[in-house]
Structure 1
């Protein structure tokens, strides 16, 4: 007699090939539309499922986990970040949490460089001129930006994505510097030609570009607070493709308005979906809707990792991408 298939509830629409495979392997309940689940819908899903496939738009806190059914044994997150899940409470309830690390590395690093170029070369301003039909022709002093080559890049968080950014930045002729919780091994540091700064304050004060690539944890909340932002050079640019909470967004907005920073490229926001409304009207700010990992290839690979984690769990083994206490 065939064994009962795992009940899997998916909270958002996923690439079609991923959804098809999920339904082939499990008793999968998919979304008919792509709106985020309400809190009530998440409660219902967590009461009926053996496995919940969540995304970054699902805030799975202690209160929600407390209402989970006895069946729920795995939250297989579609994404590398897991700060939206109370992992400690899940563990105390015997619920495992897995993620999809490494898949978005190259795509996110590409977007970091795109944002750097967008801000420093004033691409957004040039696009606006063309879209409005107001271009009067080429002029020697029109829309002058600055080149990336020769600039000092300070990478905040030198994990997979930070290192991928470093490799790309070196190809543009940038000088790579970094601050990390732990210093890289000498051979990695040498390969990246990266200079380590133990003091974040000293690094940000000397950089031309800061790229935020660290995860969101209690220790990184407002790591770039008002005081640290004020250490930056007025000619400096800041790029964030990690989590909005790492930067004090109100302080950043004030400094950009006052001309105390040259510009910002943002893919994530502290304040809601679109960040501080005042940022939208600034010509020196490039804003994207959390597109860092948005490639077809990357999202399919994320789905494949989710499936591997669920299948491994279903076979009685630890999911290969289980989130463990050392990661918190």
Structure 2
């Protein structure tokens, strides 16, 4: 029986399915594997089911490896050096498709919460500081009919755009490094700066790591309208957090909604001190049926590897 390491607790249905087929070890520690721990895991286990925060850097793949497959739990895999894995003969997969709608829903949650200041309003009520309704109380941004800009028009970007167009009658613009045809009204613009300046709401959905690291920098944020709302449901490292904090503190943009952070679970104190930013603890796929589907997809890739078949979701 192959030895399988699962680096975080998964839903019970996934653990039962894994234990029915493999000799399973489940880490109790909620922190990600360090590079040293990742290297040891590659030497000790036949297969690993990792996730965000596990440091499978190039250094982890040096030496004698027992592991043949990393079946990542999550669509993003910027915590795995895929090139180094390939050179070491370790296959890598992820869990696309099943996360699309849940992540897009969180994108809409952040748009509405940031625009309508509902998080700020709830804090006001909980603190017993609400003095009653008034015509000018907590005026926010009307969402219907605005222009949304999508950075990265992949599956999740398109799902966000569809919700915005069909649900809120929003005009859709997007920036994508390659030409992209979509089946709903949307305009592709030539540059990130042009997109940032043309839209009322910006939603980032690109993969993390590599050339996308700090894609949203001070220059990109400076191009936004002062009334603009910025939303990130991609990966934290896509955004220069110091530049975003500065823009929010100075009022150069109206607000932000963040589900991801550059050094999770660390969230800069400066974000917590701001009323015009909504902060969520990476809830993008946090629905039981979605997490179960992700876990099963990861297991299906490990089973395919065990049986000598191509990985269905190879990266």
Does residue 312 of the first structure (1) align with residue 312 of the second (2)?
A: no
- Which of residues 260, 263, 266 is equivalent to 1:268? 260
Q: How does 1:191-210 map to 2 (within 5 A)?
A: 191-210=183-202
Unaligned runs of 5+ in 1: 324-328
Other-structure match for 2:273: 281
What is the CA-CA distance between 1:81 and the residue it aligns to?
Answer: 0.7
1:247 is displaced (CA, Å) by 1.5
Match of 2:52 in 1: 56
Residue 81 (structure 1) aligns with: 76
1:105 aligns with 2:100: yes
Q: Does structure 1 conserve the Cα–Cα contact (< 8 Å) formed by 2:34 and 2:55?
A: no
1:303 aligns with 2:295: yes
Does structure 1 retain, via aligned residues, the 8 Å contact 2:42–2:65? no
Instruction: Identify unmatched segments of 5+ residues in structure 2.
Output: none
Residue in structure 1 matching 2:141, options 141, 146, 154: 146
The answer as to 2:225 corresponding to 1:229 is no
Residue 164 of structure 1 corresponds to 159
The match for 1:115 is: 110
* Cα 1:269/1:54, change in 2 over 3 Å: same
Q: Measure, in 1, the Cα distance between the counterparts of 2:145 and 2:35.
A: 49
2:91 counterpart (72, 87, 96): 96
Instruction: For 1:270 and 1:239, locate their aligned partners in 2 and report how far apart those are by CA, in whole Å.
Output: 14
RMSD of equivalent CA atoms: 1.4
Secondary structure of 1:139's counterpart equals coil
Residue by residue over 1:141-186, the C-alpha shift from the partner in whole angstroms, topping out at 9 and shown as x without a partner, is 111212111211000000000000011001112111101122222x
Are the aligned partners of 1:238 and 1:263 in contact in 2 as well (CA < 8 Å)? yes
Q: Give, in whole Å, the separation in 2 of the partners of 1:194 and 1:94.
A: 41
Task: Verify the 8 A CA contact 1:163 1:192 in the aligned structure 2.
Answer: no
- Helix, strand or coil for the counterpart of 2:96? coil
The structural deviation recorded for 1:40 is 4.4
Distance 2:173 2:87 in 1: 40
CA 1:38–1:245 in structure 2 vs 1: closer, same or farther (change >3 Å)?
Answer: closer
1:43 to partner: Cα distance: 3.4
TM-score (norm 1): 0.92
Indicate which of 279, 286, 292 corresponds to 1:294: 286
Tell me the alpha carbon deviations over residues 271-296 of structure 1, each in whole angstroms, 9 at most, x when there is no partner. Answer: 44233321111111001111111111
1:11 aligns with 2:3: no
Question: Which consecutive aligned stretches of 4+ in structure 1 deviate over 4 angstroms post-superposition?
Answer: none
C-alpha contact (below 8 Å) 2:38/2:55 kept by paired residues: no
Deviation, 1:37, is: 3.7
